[in-house]
Structure 1
Amino acid sequence: MEPSPLTQQSRPESFQPKIVRLYEALFREDEEDYDLSEGFWQEFFLLRPDATSLKRILGYLDADDLLHLQTHSQQLFLRAVSRVKHGAPPSDEVALDTLTVFLGAVLSKRYTNPSSDVISVLTGLRDADAVMSDFVASLDAIIRNGRNMEIRQKAVQTALSITAGAYQTGLISYFTHRDLFPALMKCVQDSDSSAQILRPFFLLGLLVNYNKFEFQNPYRLRLDDFVNDSTIRKIVACFGSTCSSARNKYVAVQDDLPEGWNLGATLSYIGLGVLAAGSRPSTPTAEEVIPLFSALPGSEAGILLSTYEFTNANKLFCFNLVTLPSQTKGEASALSSFLSLTSYLFQHAHRSLRSSLYTYLSLFILHILVEDQTLVKRMCGEESKTMVRLCRQRQPYLPIVRGSRPVISVILDIMIDGINHNLRRKLDAEFYILCLGVILRVISFLSRSRFRLAYHWSELWRTLLSFFRFLTTYANDIKTLPKYAELVDDLVNLVALSLSDGEAFLPDSAAYDDLFYKIVETGEVLTKFRDAFELSSHANSSSIDILVNVSSHYYALLEGNEKGKVKSKNLSPREVSKVIKQGYETLSIQAKEGLDHWDRFREADYKAILKKVARVAVEDAKALIDEK
């Protein structure tokens, strides 16, 4: 009897999707002349892509293998570009998804002659200009006016893939010649979520940075005069949302909410309401957090590069970044989210070069903001009051502040944390110069405007004077660092300025007295500091002399001109304050002119850092593509 056709047959151990078989046929190394029929391509661009399998197959091939198989790779690229240009669904979407993976893999290989070899793999030298121009024009059209946001995002993803992959080749020139800026901004304008804005904005940052120190980058010129307020607001909101997401990853490793705070109520103010529903996470051990923190921030942090570029070029963008309120009640504003992420970056900057470079970007952004007198005035005012979750994952901790306060106070706190948490013998002098520079700009504004800021100033003085002690202790190591002399001068001048102009910006006489007393306490260190860095014969000897002389003047009063034990140790705070006030009558501070002077931020001074940042952002763009 014949077996029934309904009898269950044994199943194969695994099913291989048809598209994977086509990938294998396309890149079969021993059959580069294998004829790929029209039917092959019809089927290829109708089947759902399998990004994982295609990436795996291409991963087995090196640059020489791809050059050997260039007949097939060229056919794939040309056919895919044709589908993208024709715009018929679903083939155009399949083509874009395929190109995103294919180009990312092809451009990641190490070629002997990168530019010409990549062109050989993709188009052949004869047709390169025509095909690549056609390709970029097609991407431009889809990003600008694709039939729906999904395909527009796919086109952005493909453009991001080729831009990130080809950063060291000539292929990006096709994007600079075409100018995708209008299309990217149109895509942002038509987006209805931060997730849809992230990749166009990320791509813009890479395009703006490409060889910008070697030639006049057209995208940078576009940023200068872009005045579409609604589009800028969408970008700022996306930036804030992305910063919150990046910051939350730090909190997920180690919850650092101060004990005694009401979790749900507090999180609703600082953009972490999503965490309030769950239980407080367990605290990992010190060893467990090291690799977790070292992997942060996430790839989305590359958006800091795009934000820096916009901040450095466009005053309207800066204004919106500072003034845009939160989009939803209970969420943080974009500026608050950025400051919160910056706080976490500062405490973990030492963990990797990547983390350090993104910390620099945050510092550059803050420099530009506090240099704008209109913006810094607003950040000092009542209208800027906000709550910002500052990192408390490493000691020493700053005092807990409950309630809202001016943004400028938060910025000062972040600088204090940056100084306290990155001390090491091989000091990053550039980082400290930038931190001191932000503080100088803030104090300079407060002094000139005679704006009395309520702030825990004693923490700032304690931090700056402790930094004197650190530099003195490790003077021999510090003097081997580039720019150490600039660092020393900036620190001395900053404290001298605070001492000479403190009455103009400190909230009351007690705060001013406290600064004097802390100078007195540090007198011996200041003298050793002066000698260790040979400042007596230095151009800034007058600044260090101000500090030493003030210390000596009050030391003599507090000690009662007696040798041995300092009597101030046994004096009450009121008695010390009385002596400080009495000392004013006989104290003369001859501060030199220009202590409050600063030069505007010039990115050319940080060319080497920004080139490293761009390379890191390129790698994060690739990771962002893989995540999708």
Structure 2
Amino acid sequence: MDALPQPAVKFIPKYVTLWSRVFLGLAPGGTIPTEVITDAFWANLLSLDVDYAYLYSILNNLSRDECVGRGKAVLHLILEKCLTCARTMEFDDPRKIHALETFSATARCILAKNLGGWEVMTVFAGDVGQSDKFFMGLISAISDCICDGAAATELKHSALQLALVLVSGLAQLSPGAYFLRTDLFPAIVDVILGTDTQKYTFEAITLLALLANFHKSDAAHQNPYIAQIKQTQSCELLQAIAWAANFAVGTVVKQYQELSDDTPPCPKITLGSIVTMFKPDRVFTDPPKGLFAKQPIEAAAVLLPVFEFLDNNKSFADVLVKPFTQEDDSQEHVLVLSLVTASSYILTHATSSASPRAVAYAHLSLNILLRLVQNPKISSAFCQPRSRPIRLCRQRIPLLPIVTGPRPPMCAVLDSCVLWLRHNLHKKLEVNCYTVCIRICHQMISFLQKHGIRLEYHWIELWRAILGLLEFLTKKIGELQSAAGIRLLINETLSLLDLSITTSQAFLPSAKVLHEFVYELTRSSSILKSQDSLLKKPELAGGARERGSTISGHTTSESLTVLVNVVEFYETKIGHTRSANQALRTVAQEIDKDGLQGVEEGRDLEIRSAPVNEVAGLLRYVYADSMSLMP
């Protein structure tokens, strides 16, 4: 007689078996088995490789109430045992790294439940009264693992990732202050400069930037990380940061390009280039809505440390500008140019999918560009032609003009501003971003005219984009979701046009370009003249900061008077013309004969220090992006 088939024996991994004992305390009415409390149990459990998928399958299903209720004792036990093991085990003991990894996974799940600061301290430390001891011991363990030369590379990396999980998960909650009481800056520097850990520089500098932004607005003078960033002068450290940031920024750009091929057409026409030109994925229409909804990728978080170093460390700008002093055309990918390229993509698509995250990164990108052009050394370097072109986004129509031959990087920065001005005009207008964009243009033109640099650039694209903004505001003011900040934006836009026309002969490259500028202003005469009545609308009644202030030394009424005087003079001259070409020729003849009319010489057009544009709104997205990159 044949034997009956035996039922298959289901194999349960030892890891799952042991953790199942721990999780008995999570069940309603469940208790933690006595054996689970013993050190021997955890020594056995932590000797096993961490199964993240299993841990997350249990911990992610806990509700917020369960974390602070019946599950609190279990969660505290896990964290306490892991911390004890992480602090006491030898560096070569696998249980040490497993303890860090388990702590990180557990903390990540807990911090995702949107707990308050006191609740976090209660769950982690078991009691608020034990919070100091617990968190200071935790941060000390992280620092020891990173800084000790006896620690393996993997252990250092796990400790770094744990710190990033904690800082990202705690965000601005009060327990984050413990990281201000123990200076992790030396540990972060060790990661960046260590031959075995420099590949983790992206995570290290992201951690540093987040630490520097903890309660930045009200505790900047107490934040040791801001002070350390300001005081750092190590060229080796700053170059390592720039190298890692450049790699991450390049990854961000590559992802945009993989979604939509926007390779500029080759100036040499060949059979291959003709075939490529008519490929279906070439840009003849705007890309499908939502194609770039998840852009930029998480690596864009690196823009935050770049901004912090640009904003706080004078030596960092020297590191960025150094490649421009070296006659080496092979240096195509240097950070300062990669930032311009990445900005062009981020700014082009920022509002295409109504993503607050994309807008936040656009705001940060604009502030980075502003910091770049505010630095005299970088601005000077930006005015030097480079033979290698700077790749810019060509994924939305109208496209930027195709340029061949060497041109200064400042042209690419202006192009990035044009892309923002063109492609983000919506009823939910990102006023702060537009204001920063106008300030970038103001700063660049101020630098050019002050130093008498005549920049070869397709200026007409910039003038049309700026005037297009004023036209949009004039026609859509009643439809905008909010009028907050609009007055200041109009003020600064008029100030920019005033500066540009008044000093035009100091920075425009030719009489022809000046003729085109005056014609574009005159063509927009009705828009410019309507700004006075627009600024008097009740919905634009801003505070004192908005009403008459600009970033230059003159008032809005002065700027508007100059612009109206110019356009009225040339309006009378072209009133009889019958075509645009004829009108442009008339403007050219008048300027060539009598010079530019309507401007006032000798006025104070010096740029003033504009208010600092905080990037605090971005932090929530950098926290989330950093967390998503963790195991």
1:357 is matched with: 360
Q: Is the 8 A contact 2:121 2:128 kept in 1?
A: no
Equivalent residues in 2 for 1:272-283 (5 A)? 282=281
1:20 is matched with: 16
Equivalent residues in 2 for 1:68-83 (5 A)? 68-83=70-85
1:20 maps to amino acid? V
- Deviating more after overlay: 386-395 vs 438-447: 386-395
- Deviating more after overlay: 616-625 vs 440-449: 616-625
1:620 is matched with: 625
2:544 is matched with: none
Choose the corresponding residue for 2:141, options 127, 138, 141. Answer: 138
- Deviating more after overlay: 408-417 vs 57-66: 57-66
- Would the alpha carbon gap of residues 170 and 262 (structure 1) be closer, same or farther in structure 2, given more than 3 Å must change? farther
Normalising by structure 1, we get a TM-score of: 0.87
- Would the alpha carbon gap of residues 33 and 464 (structure 1) be closer, same or farther in structure 2, given more than 3 Å must change? closer
| Shift of residue 601, structure 1, vs aligned partner | 5.0
Matched, 1:153 2:157: yes
1:49 is matched with: 50
Distance 2:599 2:500 in 1: 12
- Would the alpha carbon gap of residues 288 and 546 (structure 1) be closer, same or farther in structure 2, given more than 3 Å must change? closer
Distance 1:584 1:288 in 2: 45
| Shift of residue 110, structure 1, vs aligned partner | 4.0
Q: Is the 8 A contact 2:317 2:375 kept in 1?
A: no
SS in 2 for 1:154: helix
| Shift of residue 214, structure 1, vs aligned partner | 2.2
- Would the alpha carbon gap of residues 510 and 197 (structure 1) be closer, same or farther in structure 2, given more than 3 Å must change? same
Distance 1:580 1:288 in 2: 43
Matched, 1:599 2:609: yes
Q: Is the 8 A contact 2:562 2:598 kept in 1?
A: no
1:342 is matched with: 343
What do you get for the CA RMSD once the two structures are aligned?
A: 3.1
Equivalent residues in 2 for 1:168-317 (5 A)? 168-191=172-195, 195-215=199-219, 216-260=222-266, 282=281, 289-317=288-316
Distance 1:544 1:65 in 2: 62
Distance 2:509 2:170 in 1: 55
| Shift of residue 130, structure 1, vs aligned partner | 2.3
Structure 2: which 5+ runs fail to align?
Answer: 270-278, 538-546, 549-554
Matched, 1:401 2:403: yes
- Would the alpha carbon gap of residues 247 and 450 (structure 1) be closer, same or farther in structure 2, given more than 3 Å must change? same
Choose the corresponding residue for 1:499, options 498, 501, 504. Answer: 501
- Would the alpha carbon gap of residues 121 and 68 (structure 1) be closer, same or farther in structure 2, given more than 3 Å must change? farther
| Shift of residue 583, structure 1, vs aligned partner | 4.2
Matched, 1:513 2:515: yes
- Would the alpha carbon gap of residues 249 and 53 (structure 1) be closer, same or farther in structure 2, given more than 3 Å must change? same
2:171 is matched with: 167
Structure 1: which 5+ runs fail to align?
Answer: 264-279
- Deviating more after overlay: 117-126 vs 404-413: 117-126
| Shift of residue 286, structure 1, vs aligned partner | 8.4
Q: Is the 8 A contact 1:349 1:356 kept in 2?
A: yes
Normalising by structure 2, we get a TM-score of: 0.86
1:271 is matched with: none
- Would the alpha carbon gap of residues 51 and 309 (structure 1) be closer, same or farther in structure 2, given more than 3 Å must change? same
- Would the alpha carbon gap of residues 338 and 281 (structure 1) be closer, same or farther in structure 2, given more than 3 Å must change? farther
- Would the alpha carbon gap of residues 400 and 8 (structure 1) be closer, same or farther in structure 2, given more than 3 Å must change? farther
| Shift of residue 446, structure 1, vs aligned partner | 0.7
1:267 is matched with: none
Matched, 1:381 2:381: no
Q: Is the 8 A contact 2:516 2:584 kept in 1?
A: no
2:464 is matched with: 462
Choose the corresponding residue for 1:391, options 390, 393, 403. Answer: 393
- Would the alpha carbon gap of residues 555 and 116 (structure 1) be closer, same or farther in structure 2, given more than 3 Å must change? closer
Choose the corresponding residue for 2:556, options 530, 537, 540. Answer: 540
Cα offsets for 1:557-577 (capped at 9, x unmatched): 233xx5xxx345463866652
2:419 maps to amino acid? D
Q: In percent, how many aligned pairs have the same letter?
A: 26
- Deviating more after overlay: 511-520 vs 479-488: 479-488
- Deviating more after overlay: 386-395 vs 350-359: 386-395
1:274 is matched with: none
Distance 2:406 2:318 in 1: 21
- Deviating more after overlay: 218-227 vs 574-583: 574-583
Q: Is the 8 A contact 2:125 2:134 kept in 1?
A: no
Q: Is the 8 A contact 1:542 1:592 kept in 2?
A: no
2:86 maps to amino acid? V
2:257 maps to amino acid? V
Distance 2:422 2:191 in 1: 43
| Shift of residue 623, structure 1, vs aligned partner | 0.8
How many pairs align?
Answer: 592
- Would the alpha carbon gap of residues 116 and 521 (structure 1) be closer, same or farther in structure 2, given more than 3 Å must change? closer
Q: Is the 8 A contact 2:429 2:480 kept in 1?
A: yes
Distance 1:151 1:255 in 2: 41
Cα offsets for 1:497-520 (capped at 9, x unmatched): 111111111112222222122222
Choose the corresponding residue for 1:101, options 97, 102, 105. Answer: 105
1:366 is matched with: 369
Distance 2:460 2:450 in 1: 21
Choose the corresponding residue for 2:595, options 584, 591, 601. Answer: 584
- Would the alpha carbon gap of residues 324 and 84 (structure 1) be closer, same or farther in structure 2, given more than 3 Å must change? farther
Q: Is the 8 A contact 1:558 1:579 kept in 2?
A: no
Q: Is the 8 A contact 1:346 1:417 kept in 2?
A: yes
2:275 is matched with: none
Distance 1:430 1:451 in 2: 29
Q: Is the 8 A contact 1:32 1:69 kept in 2?
A: no
Cα offsets for 1:382-440 (capped at 9, x unmatched): 4x665222111111111012344212111111011111111123322211111110000
- Would the alpha carbon gap of residues 210 and 434 (structure 1) be closer, same or farther in structure 2, given more than 3 Å must change? same
Q: Is the 8 A contact 1:310 1:317 kept in 2?
A: yes
| Shift of residue 262, structure 1, vs aligned partner | 8.3
Cα offsets for 1:570-626 (capped at 9, x unmatched): 6386665223312427x34225723342314524xx3xxx3321122111111111x
- Deviating more after overlay: 98-107 vs 166-175: 166-175
- Deviating more after overlay: 496-505 vs 165-174: 165-174
Distance 1:489 1:53 in 2: 58
Distance 1:189 1:285 in 2: 47
Distance 1:568 1:231 in 2: 60
Distance 1:8 1:339 in 2: 69
Choose the corresponding residue for 1:413, options 402, 409, 415. Answer: 415
Distance 2:432 2:483 in 1: 10
| Shift of residue 54, structure 1, vs aligned partner | 0.3
- Deviating more after overlay: 236-245 vs 18-27: 18-27
SS in 1 for 2:629: helix
1:453 is matched with: 455
2:242 maps to amino acid? V
Cα offsets for 1:213-255 (capped at 9, x unmatched): 1222111111110111111101111111111111111112111
